[in-house]
Structure 1
């Protein structure tokens, strides 16, 4: 498994997201609280993507080594501020490569993407889904991993003009059907909206005025954190977050960013 987070809101330093909290993403790389499905540490690479002030495509910094051992990132994080960030630490599935380009976030144009989980039966279980993609997409995957393929599937839908929430929901639905038991917590952002799935792994959300933070694990003990129930899709902007059921039906009627915003609930509380 992996750990990841996405933030949209007033500009903050990368250090404030990655290092400063008591249970920061850096700490989660070596002392995660919830590594269901296997793994003990997230030492197989990391990545940070952020959107520069004034707009433009995101910038990425990725390495295939443990985040705690990188000597460049602390200074970079202290000197860099952004109003939209996606970051991840990686625990690689046994048998798949560990190198820089296998680490999230994956990117194209305005998009950043991450996956926390595993595709069961990889690669055979999803070979038919991969076969639907253009051959060029398969030949240019960032890495021969389940996460990179999930990104290619989501990206293919985005290129076709699908709403990002629908693209994530539909991808989760079709992969879950092809590979039962998969853990498919996905994060997708264009720097304004974040779409996240909770499918087989933990996800929490914290809203403050004008900001939303989604993370695999709360990075502190703030009571504002709320757990997202399994089988849900979150669409978040600086105006708030909405949580909807994540099901096969969501693939055709997926929620749209900019709709009603609420606290993260689906009719009951999220404990």
Structure 2
């Protein structure tokens, strides 16, 4: 389910990343090439981006398919940014939350997205949810697995975890609680992208002149695209990428 993408690099129009490439995230909403779970990502979409001098990202999210929103094409044509995170959503379970369930989720200077699914949701994560402060549960943006995963990540970051380690620790905890989960998480603060490959595809392309893109799948045929091995934590800036193996949780 879902396709998502994050970019850090020179300022570009959002459409240069999200709409213009031949296999862009826009096209992946109805014709993904490497999506193994689900076929059409039409249950919502969103993009968050950073403006110069402002560390808090702006967001544009909708409950319907990206291709049905004529206003988004105009926005993407004129808004420019050096960092963004965007997603198109294929929901596993219908919810009444509308655009609140569409990534990216946000808090302070962070943007977050989840590509995957948690078997047995919500009961499978009841114990992990019970370990969160009550205020965190009351502040959940939506009643979906991605919103709870975001709360678990935020809790770890507030507890002092660096963002990449917060992703990795959350993935291990959720995988232990719900075996068979697909947990490709994506997080950025506008400078660094952190991501996990756990049960679904993840690729990256980095170029000193064009910046770095981390995505569920390549949006063009550029030979610089590199697939990330499953069970990997990826940390990327606009010029560098670090890959760290993720261990399976103890039985």
TM-score scaled by length of structure 1: 0.89
**Partner residue, 2:224:** 224
Structure 1: segments with no counterpart, 5+ residues: 250-271
* Structure 1 residue 56, shift from structure 2 partner: 2.5
TM-score scaled by length of structure 2: 0.96
2:244 corresponds to 1:244: yes
CA distance in 1, matches of 2:122, 2:223: 40
**Partner residue, 1:212:** 212
Structure 2: segments with no counterpart, 5+ residues: none
Confirm or deny: 8 A CA contact 1:45 1:98 kept in the other structure.
no
CA distance in 2, matches of 1:218, 1:23: 7
Q: 1:3-42 counterparts in 2 under 5 A?
A: 3-37=3-37, 39-42=38-41
**Partner residue, 1:100:** 99
What does the per-residue CA deviation read over 1:26-49, in whole Å, with 9 as the maximum and x for residues that have no partner? 000010112223x21000000000
Q: 1:1-271 counterparts in 2 under 5 A?
A: 1-37=1-37, 39-97=38-96, 99-210=98-209, 211-247=211-247
Higher relative contact order by CA 8 Å / sep ≥ 6: 1 or 2? 2
Query: How many residues are aligned here?
Result: 248
What does the per-residue CA deviation read over 1:192-244, in whole Å, with 9 as the maximum and x for residues that have no partner? 11000000000000011151100001000111000001000100012310001
CA distance in 2, matches of 1:29, 1:95: 17
CA RMSD of aligned residues (A): 1.1
Confirm or deny: 8 A CA contact 1:189 1:195 kept in the other structure.
yes
CA distance in 2, matches of 1:131, 1:238: 37
What SS does the aligned partner of 1:30 have?
A: coil
The ranges of structure 1 where at least 4 consecutive aligned residues each deviate by more than 4 angstroms after the TM superposition are none
